Structure formats: structure tokens, C-alpha cells
Amino acid sequence: MKQANPKPETVAKPRDTKTSPSAYELLKTMCAIHAPSGNEVAMKEFLLSYIKKEKKNWKHKPTVYEGKELQDCIVLSFGKPRTAIFAHMDSIGYTVRYGKQLVKIGGPVMQEGMLLVGEDSKGKAEVKLKVVTDKKTGYNKAEYVFKRELETGTELTYKPDWREDKNFVQCCYMDNRLGVYNALKVAETLKDGIIVFSCWEEHGGGSVSYLQRYIQETYGVSQALISDITWVTEGVKHGNGVAISMRDSLIPRRSYVNKIISIAKKYAIPHQLEVEGSGGSDAKELQMAEYPWDWCFIGAPEEFVHSPDEKVHKKDIESMIELYKALMKEL
């Protein structure tokens, strides 16, 4: 997810009416997996199990790389790759400090009464977020309300509450389980390419630095698509198609972005052009990598960023998948 939020502390009220999920069961399942930055193991294990089970149904079979050398990241290689898709597995959340204090993981919305879940050696916990004002600094800080003190280092994430209607899906952690979902849907028909599931993006990154070197030296690939989620803003709206980011806090090489825009037009895929002056993603490590890489952030826009109520239009999800499939053929 872009690491700056133009509308902080915003949460959906009232909540959307729940309906039965349809084609998005996989996304719903992934949104409920506990995988804050630094502890992506559960998401890694889910993906490895899913890939092992489903790859027999994919048009082309990938080589799966995972293990000590990649820490908790996963790399899938298909055919003769030319382009890599990066999708981060981790989410925002909180770490229990001492007493009832909480320390942010990434940039979560901090609002009184939010439900957080986690587990320590004494069992599972569902707690309420409490916002208190530091008397010395005047700044707000986070604590939790629970019947006992949680063990130091316990991680807490938003309690999942899946909502779906005709046009929208809504839950915590669309960022970036939707980016992962997109990559898995592309994998179903991908002939040539690399898919990377990375770690730590929400809290400063770190994994892409060694992943890009491994990919470059092994396959000679040096161009990427960032499968992540962006913001609904005054210029990027729900339902108007996937957003192609022309810049955020970093600026990708314009000739590469222009090529992507031309492919979107060629295939008549609904899309929007995004220009921001802040925010970042896994792309920042590619921009500053040892090897020269081209990259472009392409993702569906969401409302209520970094809250339990992240909301995305289904048309934008569909166009995101469609564009990624086209780009992996054409680039």
C-alpha cells in the first residue's frame, strides 16, 4: 500500500450490509489471516499450500522458490520470464509494549473502540483499542482494553468483518491481500513471468532489496509491476478502473509508464491515471536497487485506507486482473 494516507483516521460509518460472498472466497479467507509486518509466516504457509493444491489447474506450472535464502518470501517462476509482479503479504497492526501500551506496525488508523485480535501463550485475545493523550507531549497514543495484560511483543491486528454487495467488497487488509489475490488470478494463465510475494512493505520494506538481486542475477529480469492497492481521491474514483500510478513520492521512468498506458488503451481496459506527491511501496527498493529496474505501481483504488473498513469496487478488481494479464503478455 502507498505508505502515506491522504485521509487519515477515516473509517466507514455506517457499515455496509452483509451479503453472501460469491467469487471472492479466496480474498475473504486471506483478509482474515494474521500476518503483520515481520510475522508473515501464516500468510506464507497459506500461499504455499494454496499453490501446491491449485497449480495443477493452472495453464502453466511454475517453479516455486522459498526457504532460508528468501526468509519468508516466495518467488514463482513461469517459462521464460521478462517481467516480475511484486505483491507484499504483510499488513499493518500493533505490537504490545509494556502494560497496556501499543506500538504501531506501519500506519494503522487509530480510533477508539476498534476491535483487535491476537494470541499469546495464554490464549487468543480480542481487545478494544483505547486512544489516550500523552500528558507530556500532547500526542495521542494507543492502548488496549482487556481482562488481562498481554505478553510483551504480542501482535494485534484488526478483527476481520467481511462485507460484500453487488458492487463492493469491504474488509480489513484489502491492502494488500487484494494485491496477492490479483497475482494468484494472473498465475492461473501466466506463461512467462515471475510472481513475488514479499514481506515488510508496510513497515519500511527490506525484502525487495535481496529479491530483486536474486531475480536479476538468476533470470536477467529488470522490470516490474507493483500489485498493490492505492487510494480513492478527488482524481481516482470507485468503479472507473484500475489506477496506473504515474508518480508518488518516487517517479518511475516515463517511457516504461507510457508503454503500460498504451497497452491498457490497446486492450480497451478501464483505467485511471494517478499522480500523487507522497506515498510509497515496494517500488522504492527497486528504484534504489543495485541494478537498474523499471517499475510501475498499478492497483485498484480503495476507500477507508488502513482501517478495518477498506472498500474496493468490483469493477476495479476486474480491470486490475485484466490489465495485469495483458501486461505480462506484452511487456
Structural domains counted in the chain: 2
Cα distances from 250 to residues 191, 225, 320, in angstroms, run: 31, 15, 22
Domain identity same for 166 and 307? yes
CA dihedral 206, 207, 209, 210 (to 10 degrees): 140
- The span from the CA of 187 to the CA of 164, in Å, is 25
- Can you give the CATH number for the domain in which 225 is found? 3.40.630.10
The answer to whether residue 259 sits within a structural domain is: yes
DSSP-H helix ranges across the chain? 25-31, 41-54, 174-187, 207-219, 254-266, 283-287, 314-330
pLDDT tens digits for range 27-72: 999 999 999 999 999 999 999 999 999 999 999 999 999 999 999 9
Residue 2 pLDDT grade (very low, low, confident, very high; cuts 50, 70, 90) = low
Of the listed ranges 12-26, 66-80, 300-314, the least confidently predicted one is 12-26
- pLDDT-based confidence at 88, cuts 50/70/90? very high
Mean pLDDT for the chain overall: 93
Summarize pLDDT for 199-238 with one digit per residue, the tens.
Answer: 999 999 999 999 999 999 999 999 999 999 999 999 999 9
Domain boundary among 106, 126, 158: 158
Is the per-residue pLDDT at 116 higher than 50? yes
- Nearest to 197, CA basis, from 23, 62, 65, 80: 65
Claim to verify: residue 194 and residue 227 sit in the same structural domain? yes
**Residue that terminates a domain, selected from 111, 140, 158:** 158
pLDDT in tens, 99-114: 899 999 999 999 999 9
One-letter amino acid for residue 322 of the chain:
E
Same domain membership, residue 291 and residue 186: yes
User: What is the number of other CB atoms lying within 10 angstroms of the CB of residue 228?
Assistant: 25
Query: Rounded to whole angstroms, how far apart are CA atoms 76 and 85?
Result: 10
Q: Taking the complete model, does pTM exceed 0.85, yes or no?
A: yes
Same domain for 205 and 130? no
What angle separates helix 41-54 from helix 174-187, to the nearest 10 degrees?
20
The answer to whether residue 5 scores a pLDDT higher than 60 is no
The domain boundary, picked from 111, 133, 158, lies at 158
- Give the pLDDT score at 120: 97
16 within some domain: no
Structural domain boundaries, residue 289: 25-91+162-330
Strands of the sheet containing 163-164, edge to edge, are: 163-164, 168-171, 310-313, 301-303, 230-231
